[in-house]
Amino acid sequence: MEKPLIEVCVDTLADALHAESKGANRIELCSHLSLDGLTPTLELTKKTLAALKIPVHVMLRSRAINFQYMPHEIETMINTIQTYKNLGIKGIVFGALLADFTIDLPNVMKVAKAAEGLNFVFHKAIDFTPNPIVATQALARIKGITHILTSGGAPTAKKGASMIRNMHNQSQHIKIIAAGNIKDYNLNEHIKLLGVNEFHGKLILGHLNQKKITNMN
């Protein structure tokens, strides 16, 4: 079996550096993790890309209220993609829903087109959809979607295990990234349980010690 890929979500350079030192394979870079992650600043993104050797995916989420976006918000995020692509990011993390909580296919396709050449992770907005299997099938038909981040529509990956396995079976070329209370002490349990190869979390490698790395945020 292929070695599991471990992705750590961070909102500071210090945490990104420490995650890399602890063996992370990829970073999801955000701001405001307390709000489940928003788009990181240009300064943080530049510093992180300059400092790390491992790939960096950048969150594209302009606000925390919901996953419904106005045209000007989509345009702003598309402009951000172009700027950050030029800096050397390896992927974006984005999700958009309609008022009925189904996938906002037109806006997802616009963003996917702008992100051509990058990985495109559709984030945990999928867990709010009425049927994550149907949502997965819809995303699989969009050119450029490479990953889906999910806890299987449940509060944790363990509780959503059956759905995650089903999404994996329906995902075609898309890689499923499991998330939701996956931590260093239960990672092996999730690896055995979920049938996927990519795993995501804030504490998936334990607490990231920021005391050793100062003045780098």
* Alpha helices, DSSP H, located in the chain: 13-21, 42-51, 71-87, 105-114, 132-140, 161-170, 187-194
Q: Count of alpha carbons within 13 Å of 70, Cβ hemisphere only?
A: 5
pLDDT of residue 210 exceeding 70: no
Comparing 88 with 34, which gets the higher pLDDT? 88
β-partners of residue 201 are: 8
Q: Please count the other Cβ atoms lying within 10 Å of the Cβ belonging to residue 184.
A: 14
The pLDDT of residue 185 is 96
The pLDDT of residue 65 is 85
The span from the CA of 187 to the CA of 13, in Å, is 24
> Per mean pLDDT, which range of 29-38, 117-126, 142-151, 157-166 is the poorest?
29-38
Tokens linked to 94 = 């984005």
The CA–CA distances, whole Å, from 154 to 29, 65, 158 equal 23, 20, 8
Find out whether 73 and 38 touch, Cβ atoms under 8 Å: no
Tens of pLDDT, residues 2-35: 899 999 999 999 999 999 999 999 999 999 998 9
CATH architecture of 5-201: Alpha-Beta Barrel (3.20)
The pLDDT of residue 2 is 80
Tens of pLDDT, residues 152-181: 999 999 999 999 999 999 999 999 999 999
Name the residue ranges covered by the structural domains of the chain.
5-201
